[in-house]
Amino acid sequence: MAFPKTRMRRLRRNTTIRRWVRQTRLTADQLVYPLFVQSKPKGRQAISSLPGQFRYSVDPIAKEAKAVYALGIPAILLFGIPKTKDEAGSEAYDDEGIVQEAVRAIRKAVPDLLVITDVCLCEYTSQGHCGWVDSSSKEIRVDNDRSLELLSRIAVSHAKAGAHIVAPSDMMDGRVAAIREGLDQEGFTDVAILSYAAKFCSSFYGPFREAVRSAPERGDRRTYQMDPANSREALKEMELDLEEGADLLMIKPALPYLDIIALARQRFEAPIVAYQVSGEYAMIKSSAKNKDEERALALETLTAIHRAGADILITYFAKALAPYLYRLRH
């Protein structure tokens, strides 16, 4: 029926009605909070490129994880900044490495918090790439197959420390299968894999790379991260990762790739995860005139990402939004 019998504004007339008929609902249960751990300096260090975010040493990060869980956020995604870097990224798979130490401390402090660990080499290698670089080549050439062994070792080491979920972000071909095989051989059949399945070579990663000091020394990551122009290729990447044993699929960044999230939701039954990355966070922080506007922008963008089809949302706004989302529900 047309106007005047049909009036769409009837269901928008006040806050209670709007909440009552809302079709897409955000809750703290959907959120994952990224955290950064480092050996030195001790304590908490502000990250200039990510206002409101910090690098923590081990003791403070365990306390922060406890505070995150108390807000109703069920999971964290842990990134490490090592003491030293070398050609092979050896601290990444050292059982006494910074991430492994932090995982043990967090699991002891907050047993029920889901601990997801980033599995990659970029933070740990002297050359800043996500895999093993062939030093005999004049050009930067990341050796895909040699990298798989190292990535599997990282995942197993994280599982030994107590990680519930490992999240390979390197975009090497065959990494999910290699990690699944490595975990299963070591008896970690219950450790899940959250694959950065469609990780695009994006300009939105700048603040993160400063935070973990992972910018490539030479070259770029276009030979392994995805071309932002390709949607069918993204679906193929996700399909392959599921075949190799991925339990969850991630799309990264989030807001510029809502179409990819929607296509993935239509195609696959696996949980879809979207990462609202550092550049997205920094844009909102820099454009908001005050805290209320910042919260409104964060909620609107995350609602759009969830509406597109993402089940789980990784966001630096998780800690700030969780109390507000709780109040909305209660």
Percent of the chain with pLDDT over 90: 84
* Per-residue pLDDT at 90 exceeds 70: yes
Check whether 261 has a pLDDT greater than 80.
Answer: yes
Letter for the amino acid at 228? Answer: P
pTM: 0.95
pLDDT band at 136 (very low <50, low <70, confident <90, very high): low
The answer, yes or no, to whether residue 217 has pLDDT greater than 70, is no
Tell me: the pLDDT tens digits for 46-88?
999 999 999 999 999 999 999 999 999 999 999 999 988 888 8
What pLDDT, in 10s, does the model give residues 91-127?
A: 999 999 999 999 999 999 999 999 999 999 988 988 8
Nearest CA-CA partner of 112 in 162, 166, 54: 162
> Does position 269 have pLDDT exceeding 70, yes or no?
yes
| pLDDT score of 139 | 73
Which sequence spans correspond to the domains of the chain? 25-329
Which residues have a Cβ under 8 Å from the Cβ of 205 and sit 6 or more positions away?
A: 253, 277, 278, 279
> What topology does CATH give the domain 25-329?
TIM Barrel (3.20.20)
pLDDT digits (tens, 9 = 90+) for 301-311: 999 999 999 99
Catalytic residues: 199, 252
Average pLDDT over residues 20-39: 96
Query: For residues 183-194, b (16+ Cβ closer than 10 Å) or e, as one string?
Result: beeeebeebbbb
Report which of residues 130 and 300 the model is more confident about.
300
Rounded Cα distance, 164 and 169, in Å: 16
